[in-house]
């Protein structure tokens, strides 16, 4: 079983989509280690603030299989990947770390956003502060303590994970006509 860490973010119906993602991840992988919920401004575009959470889980699936599962959960929440890379998101599920695997093929592990974005590193350091970055060699806690970018404030929110899951409601799915409808 590999120790896996992912970043979860949304700036469209944030509570609903993150709550749904957490429900689906628990159904699929069981116990999750979850950070607090953080709010951060959109980076790279003008838009509503994001909610961000880091999650840790164990899986025997390959990184490619995990990414396929994450994409399916994103699609269930109405995510369309055909649009601009920088824009509003119903849901982002990004594979950050897969054990100590280092690769740069279909995707990069460890994901470079770990050291570039406060909205990824701060929640990750909360649940995996003693975990060493497989390339840099510093712990996530050390990386967060050294992180300096005043243009990337993150705010820990008093929301609970249970509150998000209660507000998750019904997920979306796209029918063949392209319309979005509820499902479950």
pTM, two decimals, is: 0.86
The tens digit of pLDDT for each residue in 122-173 reads 999 999 999 999 999 999 999 999 998 888 999 999 888 777 766 665 444 3
Q: How far is CA 111 from the centre of its chain?
A: 12
Query: What local confidence, expressed as pLDDT, does residue 86 receive?
Result: 64
User: Quick one: which of 163, 174, 181 has its CA closest to 16?
Assistant: 163
Query: What local confidence, expressed as pLDDT, does residue 8 receive?
Result: 97
CA distance 141 to 89: 28
- pLDDT at residue 115 tops 70: yes
pLDDT band at 181 (very low <50, low <70, confident <90, very high): very low
Domain ranges of the chain: 2-182
Give the active site residues. 79, 89, 92, 94
Q: Please calculate the CA angle 130-73-37 and round it to the nearest 5 degrees.
A: 45
Mean pLDDT of the chain: 86
- pLDDT at residue 76 tops 90: no
- For residues 39-76, b (16+ Cβ closer than 10 Å) or e, as one string? bbbbbeeeeeebbbbbbbbebebebeebbebbeebbbb
pLDDT above 90: percentage of residues in the chain: 67
The conformation of residue 132, written as its DSSP 8-state character, comes to: B
Radius of gyration from C-alpha coordinates of the chain: 16
CA distance 103 to 43: 25
Q: Which CATH class is domain 2-182?
A: alpha beta
- pLDDT at residue 27 tops 60: yes
């Amino acid at each position: 079983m590999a120790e896996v860490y992912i970043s979860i973010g949304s700036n469209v119906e944030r509570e609903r989509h993150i709550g749904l993602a957490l429900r689906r991840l628990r159904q699929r992988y069981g116990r999750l280690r979850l950070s607090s919920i953080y709010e951060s401004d959109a980076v790279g575009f003008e838009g509503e603030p994001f909610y961000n959470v880091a999650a840790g889980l164990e899986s025997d699936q390959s990184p490619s299989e995990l990414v396929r599962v994450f994409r399916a959960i994103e699609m269930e929440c109405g995510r369309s990947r055909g649009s601009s890379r920088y824009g509003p998101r119903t849901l982002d599920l990004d594979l950050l770390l897969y054990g100590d695997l280092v690769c740069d093929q279909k995707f990069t592990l460890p994901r470079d956003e770990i050291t570039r974005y406060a909205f990824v590193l701060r929640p990750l350091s909360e649940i995996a502060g003693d975990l060493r970055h497989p390339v840099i060699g510093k712990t996530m806690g050390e990386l967060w303590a050294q992180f300096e970018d005043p243009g990337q404030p993150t705010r820990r929110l008093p929301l609970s994970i249970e509150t998000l899951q209660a507000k998750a409601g019904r997920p979306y799915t796209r029918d063949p006509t392209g319309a979005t409808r509820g499902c479950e």
